[in-house]
Amino acid sequence: MKTLILSLALVSTIIFTGCIKDDDTPIIIEETTIITEEGGDETTDTVVTISGVISSNTTWTSDRIYELNQKVVVDAGVTLTIEPGTIIKSNPGTGSLASALIVARDGKINAIGTASKPIIFTSTQDNITIGQTAGTNLDENDRGLWGGLLILGNAPCSFSGDVTELQIEGIPADDTFGLYGGTNPNDNSGSLQYVSIRHGGALIGEGNEINGLTLGGGGSGTTIDNIEVVGNVDDGIEFFGGTVNATNLLVFAQGDDGLDIDQAYSGTISNAVVALGAASDHALEIDGPEGTSTGAYTLENVTLIGNQDTPKGEYADFRKSATGANNNIYAYGFKTDSDVELDNNDVAQSYINGNLTFSNWEVVLPDNATIATIFQEQNGDNETDISTFEADAPSFATGVTQGSQTVGANTSNLSWTYANQIGNLGF
């Protein structure tokens, strides 16, 4: 394969205004034409490199590849529109140099792809070209090659100290575009539909990586539908408070947790699949409020797929005073010692009080496992009988054979995904 980079023109030296405090480079857009010749066929791609703050309404089109160089921020009052089939690649880097797309509070992203033309966020190391939906040189084990996508809103969250806003993890404290939370449950940050996020999770500090998709204080006016995250170092999708609803989600081969809920997230997640990889931890990690304000989530019609190779690989971990409903969950492929865990007294008490509920779980039981061994309280429940959760489990969970399930996700909705192509998920 031969690649020729034509001499290229700087289309605009300073297109945007504003600056990012930890990045003193000029805010520029640079356009380059790359000609790739392979097997006698020639492909010409126009690559637009972007850095800094987008301060006016902007459209990214599918006839170009957009390359993010460090942080790119959609500023308050600005809408970024991304056409179906557009490919966005990001440069590598860690710490303050990590590349990420951040939609600040009061900014909007309208990234509306289709099943045949998804919008793809990936790494500059990916050899995918314009018009393709997948490259050939990376797979789900290629993680941490860039940062991720962060969308921040004004919806309520439950924070320690009952403050109304907080800095999102992954963004330095002096960058005010990293704030999220507020008092508007109907806040609208735009629409994400048929979006694929691949190979992210760059390290920004010791033990601190960026999630594939971070939703901080997202409001119910925001649309999140048909989203996949593949091969991220940290969590696949994390909901930090807010009220945003999300449908048709797929997380595959993440390094930490598949779906993560925090800070009294109060929306509904429906029709989701988490398929663990060799590096994965929990399929689900669910925390409760951090302040006095409360909220309850709904998780419904979910399929969890285990992995025998990961040294961890749990179904779910419920923490703090997690509050919500977990309905119509199907799980298979997990190890014998994998569990659904209430990991402290507070969350066990939340279950006893009826604030954390479970219904219609169907589990393909691993060898030597039973429903009672899968559903576990680790630290008791503040009652004389410390086995309430385990004792109740047969009332809401049953063992089934694979293929006989009556609950879980409608996986045909997710047949368009990259994960389905490379993971042999059978959708």
Mean pLDDT of 226-253: 98
Burial 149-183 (b: 16+ CB within 10 A, else e): bbbbbbbbbbbeeeeebbbbbbbeeebebbbbbbe
State the chain's mean pLDDT as an integer.
90
**Alpha carbons 148 and 94: distance in angstroms, whole number:** 12
Mean pLDDT of 239-253: 98
pLDDT band at 378 (very low <50, low <70, confident <90, very high): confident
pLDDT single digits (tens) 327-337: 999 999 999 99
pLDDT band at 37 (very low <50, low <70, confident <90, very high): low
- pTM of the predicted model, to two decimals? 0.92
Residue 381 scores a pLDDT above 90: no
Per-residue pLDDT, 67: 97
**Alpha carbons 73 and 172: distance in angstroms, whole number:** 13
**Alpha carbons 247 and 226: distance in angstroms, whole number:** 6
Higher pLDDT, 399 or 176: 399
Residue 4 scores a pLDDT above 60: no
Of the candidates 413, 389, 399, which has an alpha carbon nearest to the alpha carbon of residue 361?
399
Per-residue pLDDT, 18: 36
pLDDT single digits (tens) 65-76: 999 999 999 999
User: By mean pLDDT, which of 2-6, 105-109, 375-379 is the weakest?
Assistant: 2-6
Residue 359: Cβ within 10 Å count: 14
* Three-state DSSP class for residue 286: strand
Q: Where are the beta strands (DSSP E) in 199-242?
A: 203-205, 208-209, 213-216, 223-230, 237-240
pLDDT single digits (tens) 286-322: 999 999 999 999 999 999 999 999 999 999 999 999 9
Residue 156 scores a pLDDT above 80: yes
Domain ranges of the chain: 45-423
Token representation of residue 401: 């054979």
Per-residue pLDDT, 11: 36
User: By mean pLDDT, which of 26-35, 199-208, 277-286, 290-299 is the weakest?
Assistant: 26-35
Mean pLDDT of 230-254: 98
Share of the chain above pLDDT 90, in %: 80
Share of the chain above pLDDT 70, in %: 88
